[in-house]
Amino acid sequence: MFFDFLSLMSAAALMTLGLAVCSLIVGLLFSLVFVLLEASRLVGKPVSVLIALLRGLPEILVVLLVYFGSTEVVEMLTGEYIEFGAFECGVFALSLIFAAYASQTLRGAIQAVPKGQWESGAALGLSKGYTFVHVIMPQVWRHALPGLSNQWLVLLKDTALISLIGVDDLMRQAQLINTNTHQPFTWYGIAALIYLGVTIISQAGIRRLELRFTRFERGGK
């Protein structure tokens, strides 16, 4: 029986990791969009207000608003009732939360790149888009990596909130198993060890990325 429950915890851990990775990918895309829109004169202020709201609201409230409000918003806009899955709503909510913080990290990293880089690109006849993607962004990731890595770890822990909307993640599975076995310390402890293991692996991967992005500063070693 113990190993049956343990296999359920393993499956839930994969669900949690998949939720976190999907939210990270979508959140990075959202953060880039937020940075670009925030720099626009037309929609810069509304986007700044949206980011401030996302940063100011409790994460659990954002998750609940997205889960219960997405269907109503779509129905008001289209007149059709469309029900979204808990996983999709969880990814969208966590992505918004991640993007609200990551966009500010990216914005600061972009500002840390010397303006002479833009001028050098223009002097070489490169377009602004090409300069941004191939010259500026590689330097931006180097500056932003410490902040983004910390936000990834926060995102990983925030996945526990998605259990409240029915996603069978690690915390929800631990709660269900505890209901059957009445051994909260054992199963919540196993969940804690799994989170800790993922965190340690993540930190090792982040360290390798930091070494890769700073290899030129260390003489290409």
Burial class (CB in 10 A: 0-12, 13-18, 19+), 186: middle
pLDDT at 117 > cutoff 60 = yes
Quote the CATH superfamily of domain 2-213: MetI-like (1.10.3720.10)
Q: pLDDT grade, residue 93 (50/70/90)?
A: very high
Q: Which residue has the higher pLDDT, 221 or 18?
A: 18
Instruction: Return all residues near 143 (Cβ < 8 A) that are at least 6 apart.
Output: 108, 109, 112, 113
Between 191 and 123, the higher pLDDT residue: 191
User: Taking 90 as the threshold, does the pLDDT of residue 191 lie above it?
Assistant: yes
51 pLDDT tier (thresholds 50, 70, 90)? very high
Query: How much is the average pLDDT of 209-220?
Result: 68
Helix, strand, coil distribution of the chain in percent, nearest 5: 85, 0, 15
Looking at residue 39, its pLDDT comes to 84
Instruction: Kindly indicate the confidence band of residue 19, based on its pLDDT and cuts at 50, 70 and 90.
Output: very high
217 band by pLDDT with thresholds 50, 70 and 90: low
Q: What are phi and psi of 166, to 5 degrees?
A: 100, 5
Rounded Cα distance, 201 and 199, in Å: 5
Rounded Cα distance between 220 and 103, Å, is 29
